[in-house]
């Protein structure tokens, strides 16, 4: 006999007296994206407001450490605020369409991005990856390129390459060359398109 679906647990929002700043909104939404796309989807679709509050507050609780949330870039990014204040700012993001809830079959409310929130954090990720590119090039650590880029969402990668075509940084060509052989054919074509826009020679596709 199939398990009966439980009714969704009610969600009560507690809004702050003042709306969060754009930097605080970015910290909240970026924390969700980094966990969902860069790690193992441990937050997106698998935790609610309490989990995100632990991350942003820099909690040393057993739950935070067990899930290795302390290794996320946004861990402790709002540690100057109380947990109650952080939760209120997350609620503000929910009320204003930056985040949304979905209920599991057991009725548990989990956090997800809205379309508006996703659009915002994709640009945050483009900025973050460009910083990685500059560091890898400056430090000669091209072996780090693929391990870090492998799990990045393809939409973000295409947006990154488009940004590099619009604002050329030909000094990063070695990073693109190190990235190229590991990608699928469509992404390799986009990398070559970016290299050619810089006046660089396109790379040959690896033989099967």
Helix (H, G, I), strand (E, B) or coil at 114: coil
The whole-angstrom separation of Cα 116 and Cα 179 is 29
**Mind giving me the DSSP string for 90-159?**
HHHHHHTTSEEEEE-TT--EEEEE-HHHHHHHHHHHHHHHHHHHHHHHHHT-GGGHHHHHTTS-HHHHHH
74, with CB counted inside 10 A (0-12, 13-18, 19+), is: buried
Q: So what's the pLDDT on residue 10?
A: 56
Instruction: Name the token pair of 137.
Output: 């090039």
Q: What angle (nearest 5°) sits at the alpha carbon of residue 8, between those of residues 1 and 27?
A: 130
Q: Which tens digit of pLDDT belongs to each residue from 33-67?
A: 544 333 333 466 667 788 888 988 899 999 889 98
Residue-range domains of the chain with CATH: 22-113 (1.10.10.10), 119-197 (no CATH)
The whole-angstrom separation of Cα 133 and Cα 151 is 16
Q: So what's the pLDDT on residue 77?
A: 80
Residue recorded with tokens 């980094």: 34
Residue recorded with tokens 């390799």: 188
Q: Which tens digit of pLDDT belongs to each residue from 148-165?
A: 999 888 999 999 999 999
CB within 8 Å of 117: residues ≥ 6 apart: 29, 32, 93, 97, 98, 99
Residue 166 burial (CB count, 10 A): 8
Q: How confident is the model at residue 30 (pLDDT cuts 50, 70, 90)?
A: low
């Amino acid at each position: 006999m199939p398990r009966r679906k439980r009714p969704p647990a009610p969600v009560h929002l507690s809004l702050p007296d003042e709306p969060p700043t754009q930097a605080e909104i970015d910290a909240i939404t970026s924390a969700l994206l980094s966990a969902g796309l860069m790690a193992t989807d441990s937050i997106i679709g698998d935790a609610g407001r309490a989990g995100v509050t632990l991350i942003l507050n820099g909690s040393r609780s057993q739950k935070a450490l067990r899930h290795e949330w302390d290794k996320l870039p946004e861990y402790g990014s709002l540690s100057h605020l109380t947990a109650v204040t952080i939760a209120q700012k997350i609620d503000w993001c929910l009320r204003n369409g930056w985040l949304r809830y979905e209920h599991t079959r057991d009725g548990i409310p989990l956090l997800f991005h809205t379309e508006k929130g996703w659009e915002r954090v994709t640009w945050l990720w483009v900025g973050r990856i460009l910083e990685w590119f500059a560091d890898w090039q400056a430090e000669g650590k091209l072996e780090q390129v693929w391990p870090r880029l492998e799990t990045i969402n393809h939409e973000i990668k295409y947006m990154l390459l488009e940004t590099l075509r619009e604002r050329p940084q030909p000094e990063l060509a070695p990073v693109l060359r190190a990235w190229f052989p590991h990608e699928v054919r469509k992404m390799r074509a986009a990398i070559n398109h970016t290299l050619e826009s810089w006046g660089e020679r396109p790379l040959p596709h690896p033989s099967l």
